[in-house]
A and B are shown apart, each in its own frame.
Chain A
């Protein structure tokens, strides 16, 4: 007598090793569900990065190469014409992507390194160190960022290095606040306590116990801080105090070509020339904001109520 074995067994299903999705698979699933705005943002960011990385291959002319024709019209050899001393606008736009985005990215990374680590240290150690750092950050944040940056630039002069350092330090105050506030609730967890009792060092607890648990808000903040830093640097360059010529940069390109707007009635393309770098800045910040919105939506499971 043959007894057909039961096709389904609850014990077997529970006993089965559940396959874990790798993060690439998760990303693929989430991307399929992503709204159009997020797709738009991702495509724009990818294009910008591609242009920034391959700038020397894409640009038809050199970054600071000067041609005898200044203020040349659109078309022909120069796609978007030339600027006041005869540099090709299109090539400078392409190199500008590299300089502007690169500097903003370096600044944001530095500000996260400073603000993130200090915030974690303040949250873990608590006590007077926490108080000292928090009050110091309060005072720094009481001065509007752009004004503080202008003051520091007067003292240290506008070189790319001092620009990165100044804005990174000023911006790290906000990263510090966020990191500290999200990690204080993680620090009191039992597994952190266990790690402390195990005798793990501060660095290990920061990296292995706390950081993985506060990653989503920090990544979203990275996007927001990047677009903020990007706008600040663009504003400073526009004021003539940021990235200095002959380095191509979108903010100073707007400043250099702004006077062409008054010719809009006679030659619309000339008037649009200063709007292209300004629009390039605007487009990237819009794209980053879209992606951050979508990311926050996934990670927090929040409905878009607010």
Chain B
């Protein structure tokens, strides 16, 4: 077997093990709830029967490890359980399936994140590579200073700055991104411009700095100096000698920052009242709706782990030096 295949399979297995432990942590969060939480959800007037029925629905009469396998089995089949809200003391159950709550919002979040990614990835790469090439020039210094400041800003500060300038003082874009299933694509893009721009500013700063560092690292290596001393043109040095080896670090940078996007989306969705999964999670945390929180946490964590895993694997596949470990 090719050694690289072994490494990749090893990484994939490691990712699976991580996913298993993460799901275990997310599942066990319900274990730490106080014993009378069923009473708290159903209300003071709940009869013993309703409480007992609710406990049986949650499976609290079974041991924890059986409940874990029941839960993870259901999740694998796309059943995330039922929300805690909409329950009443009389036993009438108006709760909604978590899948129905999550699914449309997940689509919205992916749309927003995708929009930010499409703009920011090429922009960051161009900025990063050019800043590395013209190192210590005025251009490099100013790009560096701007990105260092945007990194230090909290996301909501950037978001409100954009709202102040582009929605309030000079009203060209809407400050509320209230999309629904019927919104046309053009209208949807128009409404998402400010939230996507906020995410772009944050991501571009991180990605540009990491790309710049990776390229500078590469340009310092002896074989690049050799090709320069040979008298090759600057374009040729970059295109033929530097770039092939730069793909691995750049791919890692992109995947790492898309994973960062997963977290950044929560605050931005709340600022722009965008109906995405981040806002759903924040609402669920406020009302202590555990099944919804668990589902959202699982989705966020899985995306994060998968993106990091992709970065790892791309790094292995494109870097010949990793093929021959010492």
Contact = CB atoms under 8 A, between A and B. Distances in A.
Given A150-B281, A153-B285, A235-B267, A306 B293 contact: no
Contacts of B297: 143, 147-148, 150-151
Interface stretch (B44-52, B159-167, B223-231, B235-243): B159-167
Interface in B283-316: 284-286, 288, 290, 293-294, 296-297, 300-301, 304-305, 308
Contacts, number: 137
A144 B153 contact: no
Given A146-B266, A241-B286, A278-B157, A151 B18 contact: no
A275 interface: yes
B233 interface: no
Contact of A282 (B154, B262, B288): B154
B293 A154 contact: yes
Given A139-B22, A262-B168, A264-B168, A227 B281 contact: no
A239 B157 CA distance: 13
A193 interface: no
B30 to A, nearest CB: 8
B156 A235 contact: yes
B133 to A, nearest CB: 14
B282 interface: yes
A165 to B, nearest CB: 13
B18 A142 contact: yes
Contacts of A265: 168-169
Which secondary structure dominates chain A's binding surface? helix
B137 interface: no
Interface residues of A, number: 44
Nearest to A239: B282
Contacts of B284: 154
Contacts of B271: 258
Nearest to A231: B154
A271 B164 CA distance: 7
B266 to A, nearest CB: 6
B154 A281 contact: yes
Chain B interface size, under 10 / 10 to 19 / 20 to 34 / 35 or more: 35 or more
A38 to B, nearest CB: 13
Contact of B25 (A139, A154, A282, A289): A139
A150 B216 CA distance: 38
A154 B259 CA distance: 23
A278 B160 contact: yes
Nearest to B150: A282
Contacts of A116: none
Interface string B256-287: 00010011001100110000000001101110
Given A146-B263, A261-B164, A282-B154, A154 B22 contact: no
Interface in A146-166: 146-148, 150-157
A62 interface: no
B32 A239 contact: no
A238 B22 CA distance: 27
Contacts of B157: 254, 275, 278-279, 281-282
B142 interface: no
Nearest to A148: B297
Q: Which 9 A-B pairs have the closest CB atoms?
A: A264-B168, A278-B157, A285-B152, A139-B21, A286-B152, A147-B300, A282-B153, A144-B263, A143-B301
12 contacts: A142-B18, A143-B25, A143-B297, A151-B294, A151-B297, A234-B154, A258-B160, A275-B160, A281-B154, A285-B152, A285-B154, A305-B216
Given A146-B266, A274-B160, A289-B151, 9 more contacts: A142-B18, A145-B263, A151-B285, A151-B293, A155-B29, A156-B32, A239-B266, A264-B168, A289-B152
